[in-house]
Amino acid sequence: MYTTTFILAALAAVGQARFGREGLVQASVQALSDFGAPGAAGTLAGQTPGVLLAGASACAKLELADQIVAELGTDPAVLAAAAELVAAEKNFNPSAQAIPTICSDASLPATAELRGIVPLVDPDVVGADVQNANSAASLQTPFAADGLSVADVTTAQGFSNFTLQA
């Protein structure tokens, strides 16, 4: 009995370690309630978990980041929350795929202030240390991204262990 309980508790702890991170960005967007039309921040915040789930397109979070700026404006707080979404780690199911997906659409994100930001990846992915350091750096100073997709920028910064997704 105790063994089963311990195993279930351990599995729950491991699951919490990598899953449920979608809410971090959601809280940042929700906090923007003073911007845009009444209720817009809440509606946009409610969409953030879905674009970070394993089954979502890697480009969907970039589209949502652009929508956040379009609906809430270009205040530094809005841009910071949208940038956090661009840099957020997208879940992937290691049982179904071995590496994460990164958007290869060079038109995304369309918001100039969000271009050149690269996403975090699961720390268990080979090369994640390089990518995650690049992601943190890109939030401070975005990489050159003229005419490049997020996937192109990611590769140019030394991480290529991902699948392209348009």
In a domain, 83, yes or no: yes
Res. 14 pLDDT band, cuts 50 70 90: very low
CA 153 to chain CA mean position, Å: 15
| pLDDT given for residue 19 in this prediction | 52
In a domain, 157, yes or no: yes
In a domain, 12, yes or no: no
Q: Which residues lie closer than 8 Å to 139 by C-beta, 6 or more apart?
A: 83, 84, 87, 117
11 has a pLDDT exceeding 80: no
What's the mean per-residue pLDDT of the chain? 89
Find which of 8-17, 94-103, 125-134 is predicted with most confidence, using mean pLDDT. 125-134
- Where does the chain have alpha helices with state H? 2-18, 22-30, 40-52, 60-72, 76-87, 128-140, 150-156
Instruction: Report the alpha-carbon distance of residue 117 to residue 113 in Å, rounded.
Output: 9
Instruction: Report the alpha-carbon distance of residue 157 to residue 133 in Å, rounded.
Output: 10
Query: Average of pLDDT values for 53-57?
Result: 92
- Structural domain boundaries enclosing 133: 21-165
1 has a pLDDT exceeding 50: no
Count of the separate structural domains present in the chain: 1
In a domain, 1, yes or no: no
DSSP state of 101: E
Q: Which residue has the higher pLDDT, 141 or 54?
A: 141
In a domain, 121, yes or no: yes
Q: Which residue has the higher pLDDT, 146 or 2?
A: 146
| pLDDT given for residue 92 in this prediction | 82
In a domain, 97, yes or no: yes
In a domain, 46, yes or no: yes
And the tokens for 131? 């990518």
In a domain, 4, yes or no: no
Query: Average of pLDDT values for 97-104?
Result: 93
Q: Which residues lie closer than 8 Å to 36 by C-beta, 6 or more apart?
A: 71, 72, 73
DSSP state of 102: E
